[in-house]
């Protein structure tokens, strides 16, 4: 059984999905994740974490249990890709999800709507 989270009321009691490379790749590719309880994990939302990463929240289609996937914070390479997009005059997008996920301004950061991860400070 996966360990439980305890950080915020919204995700309290949710079970943590093992964020291995394969699971993250599936998530970034937009694939449906299989639930450890059978069925699939239906995405509910994402939020940034205090550590600069993201958390994706899911509900299992068969058990209705909630699961969270912890998404690693932006790497130096991720930030540089976003900077290059901006330097090229492009509307910046998530270096993991690709051009279909444009970064949104959240506070003073440009954040992926699907990772919850802030990738760069928003231009003034």
Nearest residue (CB) to Zn ion, 28 versus 67: 28
SS3 34: strand
Contact between 115 and Zn ion per CB under 5 A: yes
Nearest partner of 97 among 85, 109, 89, judged by Cα? 85
- Does 112 contact Zn ion by CB under 5 A? yes
The correct pick among 56, 114, 118, 120 for binding Zn ion (CB under 5 A) is 114
Q: Are strands 109-111 and 15-17 parallel, antiparallel or unpaired?
A: unpaired
Total binding residues toward Zn ion, as defined by CB under 5 A:
7
| Rounded distance between C-alpha atoms, residue 102 and residue 82, angstroms | 11
Q: What would the x/- binding string for Zn ion be over residues 9 to 48, using CB under 5 A?
A: ----------------------------------------
């Amino acid at each position: 059984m996966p360990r439980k989270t305890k950080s915020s009321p919204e995700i309290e009691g949710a079970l943590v999905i093992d964020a291995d490379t394969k699971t993250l790749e599936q998530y970034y590719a937009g694939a449906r994740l299989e639930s450890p309880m059978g069925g699939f994990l239906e995405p509910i939302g994402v939020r940034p974490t205090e550590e600069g990463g993201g958390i994706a929240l899911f509900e299992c289609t068969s058990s209705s249990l909630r699961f969270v996937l912890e998404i690693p914070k932006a790497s130096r390479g991720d930030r540089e890709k976003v900077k290059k997009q901006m330097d090229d005059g492009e509307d910046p997008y998530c270096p993991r999800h690709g051009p279909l996920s444009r970064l949104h301004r959240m506070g003073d950061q440009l954040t992926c709507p699907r990772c919850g991860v802030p990738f760069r400070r928003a231009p003034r």
